[in-house]
Amino acid sequence: MVSEDLHISDQELLQAADGELPTRRAGQVRAHLAACWGCRVRMADIEGSIADFVRGHRQTLESRLPSSDGPRALLRAHLKELAHDTKVHSWRWFPPLASATRIAALFVAVLTAALMGSVLVEHSILHGPHGNVASIESGTLPERNLTPGATRSVAISEVCSMPHEEVVREVPDSVRREVLREYRITDARPDDYEIDYLIAPGLGGAEDIHNLWPEPFDSERWNAHVKDALEERLHELVCSGNLDLSTAQHDIATDWIAAYKKYFHTDMPLSLHSYIGAATNGPNHNQA
């Protein structure tokens, strides 16, 4: 309850003006403003300064902006090139999963697998690849002697000035073949495995055979998407100053599944949520 004697803080006035207050509180602030000339004057000052700043900001910069015709044509040409390339331009081999049908199919498949084999799958994660169900999850962790992880010398500013999507890159075919050979995989199809970085480039990981392993796409639970989510989480934590880069590299290299559980505070992967539209997408969510 807001008393008319208790004035609204500038922060709440600004939040109210920006539509950032919870509905109930916004109603209380509106009621107070209706009764309080003093707060209305302060609100007018806030709005006036915002208006002046926005006009100045736009007018100063707008005059410097070139026509969009050339850049638009250039972008369209680049997109055409990408669109006509049948191969996805990525280090990933994962086929696009975007339609509602595919999402639903994935959801049902994973849910079924989770219901039928959750205990055994968990066992396989914890105790290694043994038995039929365990084989589903084999390969979700790299063989430590082959892939201990490798980093490159990199500054925090470099890591944090580049979005994760930009620093991951396609693993050359020659390296891919070498990794598969190391893991004694001789009959793999391109869509059987993703050659994954143990320590992602966005965390200072090197494109080195000791930092790459074949991650199977048929992993039901701890798959490449889950690891992607972990990489992005760690990148955000490092760049927001909440985690040392070296700690992030150590944790993901030692046991990325354990790291996922640690930094997402969960024993189950949340990445399935991203396919049903409920995943969070910012460092302010589920902050470690």
Partner 1 sequence: MEMPEDMYSIDSIDELAFPTPAVAEIEAMPSQIEFVVMQLFDHYRHPLLRYALSLGISVHDAEEVTQEVFLALFRHLQLGRPRNNLRGWIFRVAHNLALKQRYANQSSRDRMDSGETIAEQQLDPSPSPEEHLSSAQRQRRLLAVVQALPEEDQNCLRLRAEGLRYREIASVLGMSLGSVSISLTRSIARLIRADGR
Find tokens 């509602």 and name the residue. Answer: 100
Q: Toward partner 1, which CB reaches closer, 81 or 143? A: 81
Count of beta carbons in the 10 Å neighbourhood of residue 267: 9
The CB-of-17 to partner 1 minimum distance in angstroms stands at 9
Nearer to partner 1, 56 or 131 (CB): 56
Shortest Å, Cβ 57 to partner 1: 5
Residues that bind partner 1 (CB under 8 A): 10-11, 14-15, 18, 20, 45-46, 48-50, 52-62, 64-66, 68, 71-72, 74-76, 78-80, 82-84, 88-90, 92, 94, 96-100, 157-158, 160-163, 165-166, 236, 239-240, 274, 277, 279, 281-284, 287
Contact call for residues 144 and 158 (beta carbons, < 8 A): no
Tokens 């396609």 correspond to 170
Angle between helices 224-239 and 256-264 (to 10 degrees): 60
Comparing CB distances to partner 1, the nearer of 100 and 115 is: 100
- Tokens 């891919």, residue? 176
Structure tokens of 237?
A: 């934590």
| Minimum separation from the CB atom of position 240 to partner 1 (A) | 4
Residue 229: exposure state from Cβ atoms within 10 A (0-12, 13-18, ≥19):
buried
- The most distant pair of C-alpha atoms in the chain lies apart, rounded to whole Å, by 78
Distance in Å, CB of 9 to partner 1, minimum: 8
Q: How far is the CB of 275 from partner 1 (least distance, A)?
A: 8
User: Judged by CB, which is closer to partner 1: 45, or 143?
Assistant: 45
| Secondary structure class of 88 (helix, strand, coil) | coil
Q: Which is nearer to partner 1, 55 or 144 (CB)?
A: 55
